[in-house]
Amino acid sequence: MALALGLDFGTSNTVMVSGNSERTLTPVQLGAGDEAFASLPTVLSFIDRGPQRRPEAAIGPWAIRAFLESLDDVRFIQSLKTFVASSLFNGTGVFGTRFEFEDLMETFLRKAGDHHGAPLFPQGTRVVVGRPVVFAGNVPDETLAMARYRETLNRLGVEDVLFVYEPVGAAFSFADRLEKDATVLVADFGGGTTDYSLMRFRKEGDVLSADPLGRGGVGIAGDTFDYRILEKVILPEIGKGTTYSSMGKTLEVPPNLFTNFARWHLLSIFKTSNDYKELKKLLRYCDDQEKIELFIELVEEDQGYPLFKSVSTTKAALSSEDQAELRFAPLGKDFVATVSRSDFEEWIAPDLQRMDQALDKTIQEAGLTDGDIDHVFMTGGTSFVPALRRQFETRFGASRLSGGEELTSVAKGLAMIGTREDAAAWAVQ
């Protein structure tokens, strides 16, 4: 058959797997030599090339390098996927050029093709795009999200586009390991969303068949856990909770200003927002001008990505250590905060509860109980958080939990579905 490509365009990372059959699937390599990657951070940078010229784009690790090393003005955009289902996101200006969501995603995929050294989507390629069960955002519009994905791929010459739930893709990848019939719960913990899928798999020789039993999810995952660290450790240092004077009254500096800065997907557009303009006007009335000046300085100097790295490194360290130091030089060369795992787990406890409640609903609506589930496959980078793993071990028992291929399982499973004769039956219409 023609080429099938599974596209896991993630909040944090993007992975692609392609092949003509289930047994010929391979990750799509991007770059060469020491800079060959099967997974790219879903980030873009744009370097200002002056008036009347389109800004120069880079993606993934090359975008990060450009942002950190270029002496020119650079605009950095991350967590792009979080905007896909938002009707409020009508594009963003980048050095005088307007980019809609489709323009940004198209730029990312075209640059990925350049690094691949060959067309990503040869004529006739079937592209199976992963989508979360529940898109991130307050009022996500899933029809708009899929229309944006489809329009982007159509621009790249792709006509055969299928959308499949991301945990369903991960379930197919895991089922490759099964030796007998089983009911499988896939819990996919990404950057922006947590998605659940319940599947019944049957094996007859090498032939795998499956029935979907249920699905669910919630817009809480790794980025939310990052935010809890920021909220408790960083935001008080840059003015959250401080006050300003207005018409004889003392008022709190609007908390939403800090939320917009600390949410990774909002960070890339905060600098050009009306909220940021209002903050600068508010400065002269603030009672703790030093902290607000530091806040403004962080935004002006595009310190969002270094902050993201500092926070995510601390979070990762807490997966294996009882405490970790959060260092962020822009707050002062001597700034260091010790974050204990116990504090972190206390901060994310309400989020874990909401994730568990979403799982309750998923299992109940499928007409199942915890005891009906034979295997639980946990995937996605956030699955390494110890408190989350304990929650699942307590609920299902350690013997039923499996992991592996945390970053590639979704793309692999999407590609597997793309090679099947019944691929369309697994697609979300």
pLDDT at 26: 94
Q: Total domain count for the chain?
A: 3
Residue 230 within a domain: yes
Residue 175 maps to a domain: no
pLDDT at 261: 80
Rounded to whole angstroms, how far apart are CA atoms 187 and 194? 7
Q: Is position 171 within any domain?
A: no
Q: Is residue 54 part of a domain?
A: yes
CATH number at residue 381: 3.30.420.40
**Is residue 69 in a domain?**
yes
Distance, CA of 30 to CA of 38 (rounded, Å): 6
Same domain, 158 and 188: no
State residue 387's pLDDT score: 97
pLDDT of residue 308: 87
Arithmetic mean of pLDDT over the chain? 92
Q: Are residues 316 and 373 in the same domain?
A: no
Looking at the fold, whether 19 and 81 belong to one and the same domain comes out as yes
Q: Where are the alpha helices (DSSP H) in 13-141?
A: 60-69, 101-116
* pLDDT above 80 (res 83): yes
- Is 235 found in the same domain as 95? no
SS3 assignment, position 303: coil
Are residues 46 and 161 located together in one domain of the fold? yes
CA dihedral defined by 216, 221, 227, 233, rounded to 10 degrees?
130
Q: Is residue 10 part of a domain?
A: yes
User: Per the structure block, which two tokens stand in for 73?
Assistant: 């003005």
For residues 47 and 151, state if they share a domain: yes
361-378 per-position pLDDT tens digit: 999 999 999 999 999 999
Tell whether 217 and 228 lie within a shared domain: no
DSSP-H helix ranges across 157-215: 166-175
* Same-domain check for residues 238 and 384: no
What is the pLDDT confidence band of residue 234, given thresholds at 50, 70 and 90? very high
Q: Domain ends where: 294, 311, 341?
A: 341
Residue-level pLDDT at 418 = 96
Q: Is the pLDDT of residue 405 over 90?
A: no
Lowest mean pLDDT among 201-205, 238-242, 293-297, 318-322: 201-205
Distance CA(132)–CA(84), nearest Å, equals 11
- Final residue belonging to a domain, choices 322, 341, 360: 341
291 shares a domain with 376: no
pLDDT number for residue 372: 97
Identify whether residues 67 and 204 lie together within a single domain.
no
Question: Is residue 173 situated within a structural domain?
Answer: no
137 by DSSP, 3-state: which?
Answer: coil
Q: Are residues 18 and 138 in the same domain?
A: yes
Domain boundary among 323, 341, 359: 341
Whole-angstrom Cα distance, residue 223 to residue 103? Answer: 24
Q: Residue 92 in contact with residue 67, Cβ under 8 Å?
A: no
Does residue 121 form part of some domain?
yes
Q: Give 260-296 pLDDT, tens digit per residue.
A: 788 776 776 787 788 889 899 999 999 999 999 999 9
Over residues 209-230, the mean pLDDT reads: 93
The alpha carbon dihedral of 272, 87, 352, 256 has a sign of positive
Residue 93 has pLDDT above 80, yes or no: yes
Comparing 340 with 331, the larger pLDDT belongs to 340
Flag whether pLDDT at 349 surpasses 90. Answer: yes
Same domain assignment for residues 234 and 214: no
pTM summary value: 0.86
What is the mean predicted confidence (pLDDT) over 151-158?
A: 97
Share of the chain above pLDDT 90, in %: 67
Region 320-333 average pLDDT: 92
Helix (H) or strand (E) holding 209: strand 207-218
Provide the pLDDT for residue 1.
65
Domain hosting residue 382, numbered range: 180-221+347-404
pLDDT at position 156 over 80 = yes
pLDDT tens, residue by residue, 111-132: 999 999 999 999 999 999 999 9
Helix (H) or strand (E) holding 146, with range, is: helix 142-155
Q: Band the pLDDT of 207: cuts 50, 70, 90.
A: confident
pLDDT of residue 98: 92
